[in-house]
Amino acid sequence: MEEQLAELAAQVAALEAASGGSVTNTMFAETFYYLTIPLMIIIHAGFLAYEMGASRLKNVLSSGVKNILAFAFMIPTFYFFGWWVYWGFPTGIPGAPGPAGISGIEYANAIALGWGDGAQYMGPNIADNASGVFFGAFALFAATTASIMSGAVIERIQTVGFIILAIVLGSFAWVVAAAWGWHADGWLVTNFGVHDYGAAGLVHAVAGFFALGVLINLGPRIGKFNADGSANHIPGHNMPLTVVGLMLIIVGFWGFLMACVIVPGEAWSWFGDKMSTIYGTPITLSALSFNILMGIAGGIIGSWLFTRDPFWMMSGALAGIISTASGLDIYFPAHAFIIAFSAGLILKPCADWLENRGIDDAVGAVTVHGTIGLYGVVMLGIWGAGYPALQGAAGEVPTVSLMGQIIGAVVFFLLGFVPGYVVSYILKMFGMLRIREGAELAGMDLVKVPAAGYPEWGGDAPVTPAHPAE
C-alpha cells in the first residue's frame, strides 16, 4: 500500500510539473474569488443593519427596503453594461487600442458580452474558471458604491429616484473611474502613475461625492436645521444595531480587499505566477493582513481620542481602512497605523464642517468615504512616492507621485460629484427625488411599506394607502 501511495504521489507531482501546476492554480484562483463574494455580501448585511439602526422608528423598514433594492439592482445592471464599460474604456477614448492590441470596445464585446471567441467564457459550459467569479467580485464593488450613497439620503428620498441614482453610480460612474485608474491600461495609471490598490478613490471617494451631489439637491430632513442655520441632532432608533452593522462592514472589508488581488491561474496569468495587485505590482496576503489590522486599530483610536462616541469610533475603523487602502500593498504596518490614526482624528471635524454648511448627511457617508477616500489617495503620493505604479522597475514604468495622486483625486471627485448632482437635479425637476412633506412627517414606513418594524410598539402593521403620498 505504501509503495502504491508513493507511486501515485510521484505521478501527481509529475503531472503538476508537466502542466506548471496550472490546474491547482486555477482551482485556487476560482475558489479565492468565489469566497470573496459572500464575504462582500457581509458588507451589505452591515449596511442594512447600520442604516436601519440610524433611521428613526418610523423609517426603519423603508431604509432597509432601499438598501435591499440597491443590492438587487446592481447585479443585473452591472452585468448588462457596467462590466462592459470597465473593459471598453481604459484609455478614455472609444476605439483606442486596449489589451491584446485590439480596441477597448472590441475587447469589451468579447469579454463582457461574449461575442466571438468570448462566448466560451459565458454560460454554464465554459472554458475558463475565473471570469464568472471575477465578475462577481466586481459586481459587489458596484453594489458597495450604491450602499455607501444610500446611507446619506435616508428618511426622505423616493424609492424609484434612489434606484435610478444607484444604477448611475454603481453601473457607470465608479466603473469609469475603475477603467481609468484601476486597470493596467488605464490612462490615469499609464500617464500619471495613479495607484489606488484598495479603491479608496475610485470606489469610496466616487460614491461619497456622488452622495454629496445628491444631497445638495435632496435637501435636509425636516427639523434638521433651525432658522439660524444651526443643526439639530436627529438620532437613529437603535445605536447598538448601527454599531454592529459598522463592525459587519469591517468584516466584509476583508473580502473586498481580497478581491483586489490578482491570483495566478491558468486563465489569469497576465502578471506571472505570483500574487499581484490589479497593476501587476507585488502583494502578499501576509502583508495585507498587517496593514488592514493596523488601519482598523488606528482609525478607532484616533476617533476615540476626539469623540468618545461609539458611532464615530466604528466609523473611524472604516476611515482607517479607507485612508490606507490606496497603499496597502506598499505601506509598512507603522505607516498604515499613522495614516489611519490621523484619519480618525480628522473624521468628526470634517463631518461637522460639512454639516455647518447645511448638508444633512445622515450617517456621515460623504466624510467617511468621500473626504477620507481622497485623503488616502493623496497620502500615498507622500508616503509612496517613487514606487512603481505598474509592474516593472523604477525608470521603466510610471511611478507614484504626489502630483499624480492629486490628479487622480480630482478626477475621482469629479466622476462622483458631477453625475450625482446632474442626475439628482433632473430627478428633482420631474418630482422624482424627494417624498412629500406629509409622508416624511408621518414616516416613510407608513406610506411605503406594508409591514411594521416593531408592531408591538406601534400596534398592527400599517395598511398601505391605495394612493400613497410621495
Q: What is the pLDDT along the chain (470 residues), one digit of tens a residue?
A: 445 445 544 544 444 444 444 556 677 778 888 899 999 999 999 999 999 999 999 999 999 999 999 999 999 999 888 888 887 766 555 545 555 555 556 656 666 666 555 555 556 556 666 677 778 888 999 999 999 999 999 999 999 999 999 999 999 999 999 989 998 888 899 999 999 999 999 999 999 999 999 999 999 999 999 999 899 999 999 999 999 999 999 999 999 999 898 887 655 555 566 788 888 888 989 989 999 999 999 999 999 998 999 999 999 999 999 999 999 999 999 999 999 999 999 999 999 999 999 999 999 999 999 999 999 999 999 999 999 988 876 567 899 999 999 999 999 999 999 999 999 999 999 999 999 999 999 999 888 888 888 887 754 444 444 444 44
Question: Do 302 and 345 contact (CB within 8 A), yes or no?
Answer: yes
Alpha helices, DSSP H, located in 308-443: 310-325, 333-355, 365, 372-383, 402-429, 437-442
All cell numbers assigned to 252: 466584509
Q: What's the CA gap between 349 and 419, in Å, rounded?
A: 27
Return the pLDDT at 97: 53
Distances (CA, A) of 135 to 129, 139, 303, 427: 11, 6, 35, 30
| Residue 466, in any domain of the structure | no
Is there a domain that residue 266 lies in? Answer: yes
User: Which residue has 507603522 as its cell numbers?
Assistant: 334
CA distance 267 to 295: 33
| Dist CA 284 CA 303 (whole Å) | 29
The torsion defined by the Cα of 30, 34, 36 and 40, in degrees rounded to 10, comes to 150
In a domain, 15, yes or no: no
Cα 89 to its chain centre, rounded Å, is: 20
CA distance linking residue 231 with residue 451, whole number of Å: 32
For residue 396, what is its C-alpha cell?
521603466
**CATH number of the CATH domain containing 362:** 1.10.3430.10
Tell me, yes or no, whether 461 lies in a domain: no
- 11 domain-assigned: no
pLDDT recorded at residue 268:
55
- Does some domain include residue 463? no
Cell of residue 130, nine digits: 475565473
Per the CB < 8 A criterion, the answer to whether 16 and 23 are in contact is yes
| Rounded CA separation 134/319 (Å) | 26
Asked if residue 370 belongs to a domain, the reply is yes
Q: How far apart are CA 217 and CA 229, in angstroms?
A: 17
Residue 370: the pLDDT is: 97
Please, which residues have CB within 8 angstroms of residue 404's CB and are 6 or more apart in sequence?
192, 193, 194, 381, 389, 398
Domain that holds residue 54: 23-456
Instruction: Report helix, strand or coil for 42.
Output: helix
Distance CA 280, CA 278 (A): 6
pLDDT value of position 26: 72
How far apart CA 396 and CA 390 sit, in angstroms, is 9
- Count CA atoms closer than 13 A to 269's CA, side-chain side: 13
Report which of 35, 33, 90 is spatially closest to residue 260, judged by C-alpha positions.
Answer: 33
The rounded distance, in Å, linking the Cα atoms of 43 and 32 is 18
Give Cβ neighbours of residue 220 (< 8 Å, ≥ 6 apart): 358, 359, 360
Domain count along the chain: 1
- Distance (Å, whole) CA 395 – CA 469: 63
pLDDT given at position 27 = 77
Predicted confidence at residue 269, as pLDDT, reads 53
Are 398 and 179 in contact, with CB atoms under 8 Å apart? Answer: no
Task: Please report, for residues 86, 183, 377, the alpha-carbon distance to residue 398 in angstroms, rounded to integers and kept in the order given.
Answer: 21, 14, 16
